[in-house]
């Protein structure tokens, strides 16, 4: 049973497998929270595209607001919320950029329209009207009409290396269970938090 696992990565894998089996949409969706240089918090949903003992990976435009905040702060918080399972997982830690090889491999696996969209979008920047974006998308289609779409130089991945992982499980009468794993030099320590 997953509740008895004491390795947070194995417990995450078990909970994710249950979410994949039961969540109707995007079980890998997670909130990424960052902070700007002036202390303004910001949160948005992204899709986790990989995880292992090194951390949790997502991809984005590296000229976006989230990328600027990750670059300045070097840290992020992640939140998975699986409503049908009445569970959530909170993750906090430092961020690093994935290798070009990892980013290339993931980009190559994306749907062609998603690849073209990465070329067409100035993510997070003001857009005068939808037609401008659609025209840029059509330009990207024409540019790469007879060729594979390469990864744009401004597009890549981020890995959040967990220092804290909290597993929250709903319980009756708001007597929830919260298990906190904290990274230590030799591995992980585990404790409980009051609900």
Confidence of residue 55 (pLDDT cuts 50, 70, 90): very high
Residue 38 domain boundaries = 2-103+154-193
Inter-helix orientation angle 112-120/130-143, to 10°: 120
94 within domain boundaries:
yes
pLDDT value at position 3? 61
139 within domain boundaries:
no
CATH number, domain at 40?
2.30.110.10
45 within domain boundaries:
yes
What separation in angstroms does the CA of 195 have from each of 15, 70, 120, 179, 191? 19, 30, 45, 10, 13
* Residues ≥6 apart with Cβ < 8 Å to 160: 55, 56, 76, 78, 91, 93, 94, 95
Q: Residue written as tokens 């990565």?
A: 9
N-to-C CA span, the chain: 22
pLDDT value at position 6? 83
Query: Looking at 174, 178, 179, 183, which residue is catalytic?
Result: 174
Q: For 121-171, what is each residue's pLDDT tens digit?
A: 998 889 999 999 999 999 999 999 989 999 999 999 999 999 999 999 999
Arithmetic mean of pLDDT, 52-68: 94
Q: For 8-40, what is each residue's pLDDT tens digit?
A: 999 999 999 999 999 889 999 999 999 999 999
Q: How far apart, in whole angstroms, are the C-alpha atoms of residue 186 and residue 170?
A: 30
Q: Which of 169, 165, 173 is nearest to 6 (CA)?
A: 165
126 within domain boundaries:
no
State whether residue 140 is helix, strand or coil: helix
8 within domain boundaries:
yes
Q: Note if 75 is an active site residue.
A: no
pLDDT value at position 2? 59
167 within domain boundaries:
yes
**Positive or negative CA dihedral for 183, 68, 130, 117?**
negative
Q: pTM for the whole thing? A: 0.91
Q: What is the mean pLDDT of the chain?
A: 94
Q: How far apart, in whole angstroms, are the C-alpha atoms of residue 67 and residue 22?
A: 32
How many separate domains does the chain show? 1
Helices (H) and strands (E) in the chain, counts: 5, 10
Residue 93 CB-half CA count within 13 A:
23
133 within domain boundaries:
no
112 within domain boundaries:
no
**Positive or negative CA dihedral for 39, 59, 83, 192?**
negative
């Amino acid at each position: 049973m997953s509740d008895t696992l004491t390795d947070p990565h194995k417990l995450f894998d078990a909970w994710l497998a249950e979410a994949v089996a039961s969540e109707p949409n995007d079980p890998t969706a997670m909130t990424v929270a960052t902070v700007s240089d002036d202390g303004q918090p910001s949160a948005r949903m992204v899709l986790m595209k990989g995880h292992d003992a090194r951390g949790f990976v997502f991809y984005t435009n590296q000229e976006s607001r989230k990328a600027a905040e990750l670059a300045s702060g070097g840290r992020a918080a992640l939140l998975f919320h699986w409503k049908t399972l009445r569970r959530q997982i909170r993750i906090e830690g430092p961020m690093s950029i994935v290798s070009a090889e990892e980013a290339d491999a993931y980009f190559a696996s994306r749907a062609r329209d998603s690849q073209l969209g990465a070329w067409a979008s100035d993510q997070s920047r003001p857009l005068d009207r939808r037609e401008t974006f659609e025209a840029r998308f059509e330009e990207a289609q024409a540019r790469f009409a007879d060729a594979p779409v390469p990864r744009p130089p401004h597009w890549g991945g981020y890995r959040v290396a967990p220092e804290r992982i909290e597993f929250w499980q709903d319980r009756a009468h708001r007597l929830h269970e919260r298990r906190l794993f904290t990274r230590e030099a030799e591995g992980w320590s585990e404790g409980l938090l009051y609900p």
